[in-house]
Structure 1
């Protein structure tokens, strides 16, 4: 039996196992299983690989997309440029890292992107944010990070009306608003949003987070992370089978 899975913490609300289990059933893929492997610490990956010698591929989620890099034997050029890995191919005991977040995000973002969405605020600075800014650089869209503490970019308290007008594309890469903490949202000044804004949330559960709800109420274009998740999952499956 071919084995694939997801590492991260926590994984209780994971999209991946349900998606791949349904995919295997629907497409008649009888020789494959997808399991969740919650890891308290990234160093537990070594034990996981010893326990499951039939593992052929792993997806990587919060908080290990960057921490997993030292455990890889090789890394794809795009994942290396991003500095984050969310997909690992395992063959002959060797781990090769890829980033399927970036191409999946790019394809999803472009579907509703308009010419005036020409500057972006990226909320959060983790591994998912790295994939997002890699895509923005490729599209020639200037961006600024926004986080709770100073260091890179802006802090939330600095978001004025002028800044919100200057940056019509706002991308949430944080887990704020995801189930079960659905009453949370990034602390941007929502009162300055207009129909010229495009709010993209990497969160997919719930389908319409508080972040997206508040944007929609003010006429903004909104999109959640479901398409991106499906895209990165399918790209991972392609990598594991080539």
Structure 2
């Protein structure tokens, strides 16, 4: 049986496993399994590489960067973002193995964002500066939207939260939460931004999908903003993974 799976540590609830197993059942795809592989150390990835039944894996925290040391090639977007969440494993007849890394988070975000954009959406604020923000920045570059990061520490060419005011919000109409603030079970938490400056001209996107409507999205919607959670992004990246593994 062919194998697909998710590596990371620790691994709790997995969107990917549920999604792919349901996909296999609904589309009557047989002889393929998708499972979770929590590995305490990235060196244990070699066990998966050496298993000839594996032909693809997803990668999550904390290995999206470290796993690149094991790859033979990076796709254009993975090279630019310097993070990998999808790997295609090719086993050659001579016993050698070839691994190519991709970042399908960028594809999922871009494809889910584009239909929501209005003509005035030229600039974006990115809340948080972790790994998820890197894929978002790459996607915004592809779309042609300029952006600034918002974080708690002042660095070159970014905002800190205290600097966000009416003038900033009038210029930046797309606001993207790339931080984990508001994720279940902490559903009452939200990024500390001045929601009173959000208007019907704003598009507020939260990469979080659990809960379906975060406090960030609810507060933004109450101000008249267009809102979007991260569920479609996950579905689109999952389908892109499947396309890559079976190409």
- Shorter-normalised TM range: over 0.9
Q: Is the 8 A contact 2:49 2:89 kept in 1?
A: no
Measured after TM superposition, the shift of residue 62 of structure 1 is 2.8
1:66/1:127 contact within 8 Å kept: no
Tell me the distance in 2 between the aligned counterparts of 1:175 and 1:41.
24
Are the structure 2 counterparts of residues 63 and 212 from structure 1 closer, same or farther at C-alpha, using a change threshold of 3 Å? farther
Residues 165-195 of structure 1 show CA distances to partners (whole Å, capped at 9, x for unaligned) of 2111011112221222222222222121111
Q: 1:155 to 1:235 in 2, by over 3 A?
A: same
Pairing partner for 2:166 from 143, 158, 161: 161
Q: Cα deviation per residue 1:43-66 (whole Å; 9 max; x = unaligned)? A: 33234445x442211112233322
Matching of residue 104 in structure 1 with residue 108 in structure 2: yes
Partner of 2:147 in structure 1? 143
Q: Which runs of 5+ in 1 are unaligned?
A: none
Report the equivalent of 1:21.
Answer: 21
- Alignment TM-score, normalising by the size of structure 2: 0.91
Deviation at 1:148, TM superposition (A): 2.1
What's the C-alpha RMSD, in Å, of the aligned pairs? 1.7
Count the aligned residue pairs. 241
Output the CA distance in 2 between the equivalents of 1:150 and 1:42.
32
Structure 2: segments with no counterpart, 5+ residues: 92-96
Q: Verify: 1:215 aligned to 2:220, yes or no.
A: yes
When Rg is computed on C-alpha atoms for both structures, the one with the higher figure is 2
TM-score of the pair, normalised by structure 1: 0.93
| 2:89 aligned residue | 90
Distance 1:49 1:179 in 2: 33
Are the aligned partners of 2:48 and 2:54 in contact in 1 as well (CA < 8 Å)?
Answer: no
Q: 1:156 to 1:90 in 2, by over 3 A?
A: same
Distance 1:123 1:62 in 2: 19
Q: Report the secondary structure of 2:120's partner residue.
A: coil
Q: 2:43: which partner in 1? A: 43
Q: 1:154 to 1:177 in 2, by over 3 A?
A: same
Q: 1:144 to 1:41 in 2, by over 3 A?
A: farther
State how far apart, in whole Å, the 2-side matches of 1:65 and 1:6 are.
11
- Report what 1:129 is aligned to: 133
Quickly say closer, same or farther: Cα 1:145–1:42, change in 2 above 3 A.
farther
- SS of match in other structure, 2:116: coil
Find the aligned partners of 1:62 and 1:232 in 2 and give their Cα distance: 16
